[in-house]
Structure 1
């Protein structure tokens, strides 16, 4: 065989090999590569979507935390205001109660003073009667002279 014959035979074998590879081997490899590229693209897309979902979730969490902090601060302020109001009301009630107690004590003291004056008038009237009795050297009848004793009591 000559080089030309060998070269032609090799060219024919090469052409058959190319045809066989293009017909039977290359389509499954191309399909596998296309599927692999598609899966990689889907994975990258899913990763991007997950990243954006994570960012949105973080933003929602921050908003909820801010709302919770604001709500907690508001509740704390309300509780402090309510506590202050309760303290003020208790002070007002205590002040009113103290004023009532002082008024009652003053009224009671006034009543005791009136009773003491009345008792003193009775004693003075009795002493006056005894003094008059001693002056006249006779016994003064209290029942007979009740009107005189009443006027004396009123004058004192």
Structure 2
């Protein structure tokens, strides 16, 4: 094998190509790769940070939901208690009104009974006067016997 001039020329051209590539082509490629690696690392860091923030946000949402459920349960219990209280108040008012109505009805019945007794007394007095008239066969003077009739009413 002989070393000839073309091989030396190819080696010189290859060395120039290596030098040119190392000087002008390789640094931008390395810079682009470094920049891309940095962007990927920043992206991963941001993703981890976002994941942590998402976890915190989920915890905060769960706490707020729990607080909202507790508040809703309290309000529901308060509403039920208020409804029960209103029902009890309505029952007591209805009971009081019923007692008043019964008392009024008893008083009215008592008044009617008194009126009926008075009417009965007057009828009895009238019948007594008629009976006395028939027995005596003469007419009784109502003005003279009014006092007698009044005493008879009170005795009956």
Please, what TM-score do these two structures have when normalized by structure 1?
0.85
Q: Are 1:109 and 2:109 counterparts?
A: yes
| 2:129 alignment counterpart | 129
The C-alpha deviation readout for 1:113-133, integer Å capped at 9, x for no partner, is 000110111112112212222
Q: Give 1:14 shift.
A: 6.3
Structure 1 position 36, deviation (Å): 0.8
C-alpha RMSD over aligned residues: 2.3
1:83 aligned residue: 83
* 130-139 or 43-52: bigger deviation: 130-139
User: Which residue in 1 is equivalent to 2:152?
Assistant: 152
In the TM superposition, what are the counterparts of 1:4-153 in structure 2 within 5 Å?
16-153=16-153
Q: Could you tell me how far apart the structure 2 residues matched to 1:153 and 1:48 are? A: 110
Distance in 2, Cα, partners of 1:91 & 1:135: 64
- Give the distance between the partners of 1:13 and 1:152, measured in 2 at CA: 162
Distance of 2:43 and 2:110 partners within structure 1 = 98
Report the Cα distance in structure 2 between the residues aligned to 1:17 and 1:48, rounded to whole angstroms.
44
Q: Distance in 2 between matches of 1:10 and 1:136?
A: 179
Q: Structure 2 CA distance, aligned partners of 1:124 and 1:58?
A: 97
Aligned equivalents of 1:60, 1:8: Cα separation in 2: 74
CA distance in 2, matches of 1:48, 1:101: 78
Structure 2 residue ranges without an equivalent (≥5): none
In the alignment, the residues of structure 1 paired with residue 10 and residue 126 of structure 2 have an alpha-carbon distance, to the nearest angstrom, of 166
Aligned-pair distance for 1:89? Answer: 1.4
Q: Find the aligned partners of 1:134 and 1:71 in 2 and give their Cα distance.
A: 93
